[in-house]
A and B are shown apart, each in its own frame.
Chain A
Amino acid sequence: QVQLVESGGGVVQPGRSLRLSCAASGISFSGYAMHWVRQAPGKGLEWVAVISYDGSSKFYADSVKGRFTLSRDNSKNTLLLQMNSLRADDTAFYYCAREISELLPGGMRLDRFDSWGQGTLVTVSS
Protein backbone atom coordinates (compact mmCIF):
# COMPACT_ATOMS: atom_id res chain seq x y z
CA GLN A 1 0.00 0.00 0.00
CA VAL A 2 1.23 3.45 -0.87
CA GLN A 3 1.99 5.57 2.13
CA LEU A 4 2.26 9.32 1.79
CA VAL A 5 3.78 11.43 4.56
CA GLU A 6 3.71 15.22 4.49
CA SER A 7 6.11 17.41 6.41
CA GLY A 8 7.25 21.00 6.59
CA GLY A 9 4.20 22.65 8.08
CA GLY A 10 4.41 25.20 10.85
CA VAL A 11 3.70 28.76 11.84
CA VAL A 12 4.90 31.46 9.45
CA GLN A 13 4.37 35.20 9.22
CA PRO A 14 2.37 36.72 6.38
CA GLY A 15 4.52 37.36 3.34
CA ARG A 16 7.05 34.70 4.24
CA SER A 17 7.73 31.35 2.57
CA LEU A 18 7.43 27.71 3.49
CA ARG A 19 8.22 24.47 1.69
CA LEU A 20 6.16 21.35 2.16
CA SER A 21 7.32 17.84 1.33
CA CYS A 22 5.41 14.67 0.64
CA ALA A 23 7.36 11.42 0.82
CA ALA A 24 5.97 8.27 -0.79
CA SER A 25 6.86 4.79 0.37
CA GLY A 26 5.59 1.32 -0.26
CA ILE A 27 5.59 1.75 -4.01
CA SER A 28 7.25 4.08 -6.46
CA PHE A 29 5.07 7.07 -7.22
CA SER A 30 6.89 8.09 -10.37
CA GLY A 31 4.15 6.84 -12.69
CA TYR A 32 1.38 8.96 -11.19
CA ALA A 33 0.27 12.54 -11.16
CA MET A 34 0.30 14.01 -7.67
CA HIS A 35 -1.89 16.66 -6.10
CA TRP A 36 -1.99 18.97 -3.12
CA VAL A 37 -5.34 19.54 -1.47
CA ARG A 38 -5.85 21.85 1.50
CA GLN A 39 -8.48 22.30 4.17
CA ALA A 40 -8.81 25.38 6.31
CA PRO A 41 -9.78 24.54 9.90
CA GLY A 42 -13.47 23.68 10.01
CA LYS A 43 -13.87 24.14 6.25
CA GLY A 44 -14.13 21.94 3.19
CA LEU A 45 -11.50 20.50 0.88
CA GLU A 46 -9.89 22.80 -1.68
CA TRP A 47 -7.85 21.57 -4.60
CA VAL A 48 -4.50 23.39 -4.76
CA ALA A 49 -2.28 22.02 -7.52
CA VAL A 50 -1.32 19.03 -9.66
CA ILE A 51 1.93 17.89 -11.21
CA SER A 52 2.18 15.28 -13.94
CA TYR A 53 4.01 12.01 -13.39
CA ASP A 54 7.20 13.35 -14.95
CA GLY A 55 6.94 16.92 -13.69
CA SER A 56 6.47 18.35 -17.17
CA SER A 57 2.99 19.77 -16.50
CA LYS A 58 1.79 21.70 -13.50
CA PHE A 59 -1.51 23.40 -12.84
CA TYR A 60 -2.61 25.54 -9.95
CA ALA A 61 -5.78 26.85 -8.38
CA ASP A 62 -6.32 30.54 -9.05
CA SER A 63 -5.98 31.21 -5.32
CA VAL A 64 -2.32 30.12 -5.31
CA LYS A 65 -1.22 30.76 -8.88
CA GLY A 66 1.98 32.79 -9.03
CA ARG A 67 2.76 32.18 -5.35
CA PHE A 68 3.01 28.38 -5.07
CA THR A 69 5.33 26.14 -7.10
CA LEU A 70 5.06 22.40 -7.34
CA SER A 71 7.95 20.07 -8.11
CA ARG A 72 8.86 16.45 -7.70
CA ASP A 73 11.95 14.28 -7.45
CA ASN A 74 11.06 10.83 -8.70
CA SER A 75 14.48 9.47 -7.75
CA LYS A 76 13.58 10.23 -4.13
CA ASN A 77 9.83 9.57 -4.36
CA THR A 78 9.26 13.09 -3.09
CA LEU A 79 6.78 15.83 -3.92
CA LEU A 80 7.51 19.44 -2.99
CA LEU A 81 5.30 22.50 -2.63
CA GLN A 82 7.11 25.83 -2.40
CA MET A 83 4.75 28.41 -0.93
CA ASN A 84 5.74 32.07 -1.22
CA SER A 85 4.02 35.30 -0.23
CA LEU A 86 1.88 33.44 2.26
CA ARG A 87 -1.37 35.00 3.41
CA ALA A 88 -3.64 34.37 6.36
CA ASP A 89 -6.13 32.59 4.11
CA ASP A 90 -3.47 30.02 3.22
CA THR A 91 -3.82 28.68 6.76
CA ALA A 92 -4.91 25.06 6.36
CA PHE A 93 -4.04 21.43 6.59
CA TYR A 94 -2.21 20.49 3.40
CA TYR A 95 -2.64 16.97 2.05
CA CYS A 96 -0.79 15.32 -0.79
CA ALA A 97 -2.75 12.77 -2.80
CA ARG A 98 -1.97 10.35 -5.60
CA GLU A 99 -4.12 10.48 -8.70
CA ILE A 100 -5.09 7.39 -10.62
CA SER A 101 -6.60 8.09 -14.02
CA GLU A 102 -7.78 5.55 -16.57
CA LEU A 103 -9.11 6.23 -20.04
CA LEU A 104 -12.24 4.19 -20.63
CA PRO A 105 -13.56 2.93 -23.99
CA GLY A 106 -15.70 5.75 -25.29
CA GLY A 107 -13.38 8.46 -24.02
CA MET A 108 -14.53 9.03 -20.43
CA ARG A 109 -11.86 9.12 -17.75
CA LEU A 110 -11.99 7.17 -14.50
CA ASP A 111 -10.25 9.43 -11.99
CA ARG A 112 -9.68 9.25 -8.28
CA PHE A 113 -7.32 10.17 -5.48
CA ASP A 114 -6.61 6.74 -4.13
CA SER A 115 -4.02 7.56 -1.48
CA TRP A 116 -3.75 10.54 0.85
CA GLY A 117 -1.22 11.64 3.39
CA GLN A 118 -2.19 12.51 6.95
CA GLY A 119 -1.73 16.23 6.30
CA THR A 120 0.54 18.93 7.63
CA LEU A 121 -0.76 22.14 9.20
CA VAL A 122 0.35 25.50 7.89
CA THR A 123 -0.56 28.51 10.02
CA VAL A 124 0.04 31.97 8.60
CA SER A 125 -0.08 34.49 11.41
CA SER A 126 1.81 37.45 12.70
Chain B
Amino acid sequence: SSELTQDPAVSVALGQTVRITCQGDSLRSFYASWYQQKPGQAPILVIYGQNNRPSGIPDRFSGSSSGNTASLTITGAQAEDEADYYCNSRDIPGNHAWVFGGGTKLTVL
Protein backbone atom coordinates (compact mmCIF):
# COMPACT_ATOMS: atom_id res chain seq x y z
CA SER B 1 0.00 0.00 0.00
CA SER B 2 1.05 3.60 -0.51
CA GLU B 3 1.77 6.16 2.19
CA LEU B 4 0.63 9.65 3.10
CA THR B 5 3.34 11.84 4.61
CA GLN B 6 2.67 14.63 7.08
CA ASP B 7 4.98 16.79 9.16
CA PRO B 8 4.90 15.39 12.71
CA ALA B 9 4.48 18.78 14.37
CA VAL B 10 3.59 22.34 13.45
CA SER B 11 3.11 25.41 15.60
CA VAL B 12 1.25 28.65 14.99
CA ALA B 13 0.80 31.85 16.94
CA LEU B 14 -2.69 32.59 18.12
CA GLY B 15 -4.65 34.32 15.37
CA GLN B 16 -2.13 33.52 12.65
CA THR B 17 -2.47 31.23 9.64
CA VAL B 18 -1.06 27.73 9.44
CA ARG B 19 -0.94 25.19 6.63
CA ILE B 20 -0.68 21.45 7.26
CA THR B 21 0.34 19.37 4.27
CA CYS B 22 -0.09 15.76 3.23
CA GLN B 23 1.83 14.13 0.39
CA GLY B 24 1.33 10.83 -1.33
CA ASP B 25 0.90 9.08 -4.65
CA SER B 26 -2.75 8.28 -3.90
CA LEU B 27 -3.55 12.01 -3.90
CA ARG B 28 -2.92 12.14 -7.63
CA SER B 29 -6.06 10.00 -8.02
CA PHE B 30 -8.15 10.67 -4.93
CA TYR B 31 -9.07 13.66 -2.83
CA ALA B 32 -7.96 13.75 0.78
CA SER B 33 -10.17 14.20 3.80
CA TRP B 34 -8.93 15.75 7.03
CA TYR B 35 -9.69 14.81 10.62
CA GLN B 36 -9.10 16.66 13.86
CA GLN B 37 -8.49 14.65 17.00
CA LYS B 38 -8.17 16.06 20.48
CA PRO B 39 -6.80 14.02 23.40
CA GLY B 40 -9.18 11.33 24.57
CA GLN B 41 -11.64 11.99 21.77
CA ALA B 42 -12.60 10.34 18.51
CA PRO B 43 -11.56 12.02 15.28
CA ILE B 44 -13.95 14.44 13.62
CA LEU B 45 -14.13 15.37 9.96
CA VAL B 46 -13.07 18.96 9.23
CA ILE B 47 -12.43 19.09 5.48
CA TYR B 48 -13.07 16.77 2.55
CA GLY B 49 -12.53 16.94 -1.17
CA GLN B 50 -11.02 20.02 -2.72
CA ASN B 51 -12.45 22.33 -0.05
CA ASN B 52 -15.65 21.10 1.58
CA ARG B 53 -16.53 21.70 5.22
CA PRO B 54 -19.13 19.68 7.14
CA SER B 55 -21.76 21.71 8.92
CA GLY B 56 -20.51 22.98 12.25
CA ILE B 57 -16.89 23.32 11.20
CA PRO B 58 -15.72 26.95 11.37
CA ASP B 59 -14.92 28.64 8.08
CA ARG B 60 -11.36 29.34 9.24
CA PHE B 61 -10.72 25.74 8.11
CA SER B 62 -10.10 25.31 4.39
CA GLY B 63 -8.52 22.79 2.08
CA SER B 64 -6.73 22.61 -1.23
CA SER B 65 -4.94 20.07 -3.37
CA SER B 66 -2.49 19.99 -6.23
CA GLY B 67 -0.68 17.05 -7.72
CA ASN B 68 0.36 14.69 -4.95
CA THR B 69 -0.19 17.21 -2.13
CA ALA B 70 -3.25 18.11 -0.09
CA SER B 71 -3.27 20.98 2.36
CA LEU B 72 -5.35 21.99 5.34
CA THR B 73 -5.22 25.68 6.20
CA ILE B 74 -6.42 27.30 9.38
CA THR B 75 -6.80 31.05 8.96
CA GLY B 76 -6.76 32.80 12.31
CA ALA B 77 -5.93 29.81 14.48
CA GLN B 78 -7.67 29.61 17.84
CA ALA B 79 -6.58 27.94 21.03
CA GLU B 80 -9.24 25.27 20.55
CA ASP B 81 -7.66 24.26 17.24
CA GLU B 82 -4.73 22.71 19.07
CA ALA B 83 -5.05 19.04 18.17
CA ASP B 84 -3.73 16.25 16.00
CA TYR B 85 -4.70 16.42 12.36
CA TYR B 86 -4.78 13.43 10.02
CA CYS B 87 -5.22 13.22 6.28
CA ASN B 88 -6.83 10.20 4.65
CA SER B 89 -7.59 8.94 1.19
CA ARG B 90 -8.24 5.78 -0.73
CA ASP B 91 -5.05 3.97 -1.63
CA ILE B 92 -3.72 4.02 -5.18
CA PRO B 93 -6.09 2.79 -7.92
CA GLY B 94 -6.34 -0.98 -7.97
CA ASN B 95 -5.77 -1.28 -4.24
CA HIS B 96 -8.99 -1.29 -2.26
CA ALA B 97 -7.33 -0.19 0.95
CA TRP B 98 -7.45 3.23 2.51
CA VAL B 99 -4.55 5.09 4.07
CA PHE B 100 -4.01 7.68 6.80
CA GLY B 101 -1.16 10.10 7.14
CA GLY B 102 0.97 9.82 10.23
CA GLY B 103 -0.68 12.88 11.75
CA THR B 104 0.44 16.43 12.53
CA LYS B 105 0.36 17.75 16.07
CA LEU B 106 -0.67 21.39 15.92
CA THR B 107 0.38 23.63 18.78
CA VAL B 108 -1.21 27.07 19.10
CA LEU B 109 1.20 29.41 20.86
Contacts and interface: CB of A to CB of B under 8 A. Distances in A.
A37 B86 CA distance: 12
A108 interface: yes
Interface in A80-105: 95
Interface residues on A, range: 20 to 34
Contacts of B49: 110, 112
B-side binding surface: helix, strand, loop or mixed? Answer: strand
Interface in B81-109: 84, 86, 88-90, 96-103
Contacts of B43: 37, 45, 95, 113, 116
A-side binding surface: helix, strand, loop or mixed? Answer: strand
Interface string B37-67: 1000011110011001010000000000000
B9 to A, nearest CB: 13
Contacts of B1: 61-62
Interface in B17-40: 30-31, 33, 35, 37
Given A37-B100, A47-B98, A112 B48 contact: yes
